[in-house]
Structure 1
Amino acid sequence: MADSFHFSVNIISRGKGKSAVASAAYISGEKIKNEWDGVTHDYTRKEKILVKNIILPDHIPKEFNDRSTLWNKVEMAEKNSNAQLARQFIIGLPKELSLSENKNLVERYIKENLTSQGMIVDYAIHDESQDKNGNIHCHIMTIMRPINEKGEFLAKSKKEYILDEKGEKY
């Protein structure tokens, strides 16, 4: 088994010139038009996308299983030019595991840590290995706002800090 893995988390934000639709098109290798700014993002030539899927919490309407619908609704729900649109995780996966084992590992992580908290998750597993260097990794995108059973976006959650015994943030 490999002795180190990559794991990074960042926020997709309009303030940084990013788009949730563009990121979703990239990770899935699809062509998606962003209804917020009218730009079409075409990554249909992207290769080595091994798996792509959207996982919904039980209460979310099935229309959010469509990538274009999901991320365009996220874009349209946010009005500010500096809006935070989505969280993105990039996770290095063990090259020693089969694709099926890596997929199961990723989906278990998603269900235990993200959809169980009410987040919609869009993920893809990429293998951009050159000369078998083992660059298999997963892109995970999650929504920032909770959604109710009618498919309506709710207010973003307030921060709740975890404090140590002295009342200081970890």
Structure 2
Amino acid sequence: MAIFHLSVKPVSRSSGRTSTAAAAYRSASLIRDERTGETHDYRRKDGVVYSAIMTPDGSTIARGDLWNLAEASERRKDSRTAREYEIALPAELDQEGRQNLAEEFARHIMSKYGVAVDLCIHEPGKGDD
């Protein structure tokens, strides 16, 4: 039986978060934050089965470049540089079905808000379906 879960959280400097760190963690990758000089390295993190950057105009951009641009576009100390959507994908779908559903949701966000989407799919945790 499918269990629905969706949460939306802002990535806000006032809470001590950066979009570069959040993106590196979610994608299990390495991103250097040009604003702070910090390097966020989560390449040893397991569980990411798919990741992609989707843009409204179909152009390509590296993950680090995208999130450094987001950080550079905001100057305030309490800026919100991203929104993080966490969605439970139905266990009844195979990997291809989950990917198609996630990409459809990402396209909806892109067209509604005119923003790029950093899509990362994680395998279910232990005990999850």
Q: TM-score range by the shorter chain?
A: over 0.9
Residue of structure 2 aligned with 1:115, choices 104, 107, 110 = 110
Distance 2:78 2:44 in 1: 30
Distance 1:109 1:14 in 2: 26
Q: Report deviation, 1:129.
A: 2.1
Distance 2:83 2:118 in 1: 11
Match of 1:129 in 2: 125
Distance 1:69 1:48 in 2: 23
Match of 2:21 in 1: 22
Distance 1:119 1:73 in 2: 12
Q: Report deviation, 1:67.
A: 0.3
The answer to whether the aligner puts 1:48 opposite 2:47 as a matched pair is: yes
Match of 1:12 in 2: 11
Q: Which has the higher contact order (CA 8 A, sep 6+)?
A: 2
Counterparts of 1:30-45 in structure 2, within 5 Å, are 30-45=29-44
Q: Report deviation, 1:123.
A: 1.0
One-letter amino acid of the structure 2 residue matched with residue 54 of structure 1: I
Distance 2:73 2:117 in 1: 17
Contact 2:106 2:119 in 1 (8 A): no
Match of 1:150 in 2: none
| Greater Rg over alpha carbons, structure | 1
Q: Name segments (4+ residues, structure 1) moved above 3 Å.
A: none
Question: Structure 1: where are the runs of 5+ without partners?
Answer: 135-170
The structure whose residues are more often helix, as a share, is: 2
Matched residue pairs, number?
128
Match of 2:90 in 1: 94
Distance 1:116 1:77 in 2: 21
Q: Deviations over 1:70-125 (max 9, x none)?
A: 000111111111111001100011111101001001111221x2111311100100
Q: Report deviation, 1:48.
A: 1.2
What is the identity percentage for the equivalent residue pairs of Structure 1 and Structure 2? Answer: 38
Match of 1:155 in 2: none
Counterparts of 1:144-159 in structure 2, within 5 Å, are none
Distance 1:27 1:128 in 2: 14
Match of 2:72 in 1: 76
Q: SS at 1:74's partner residue?
A: helix
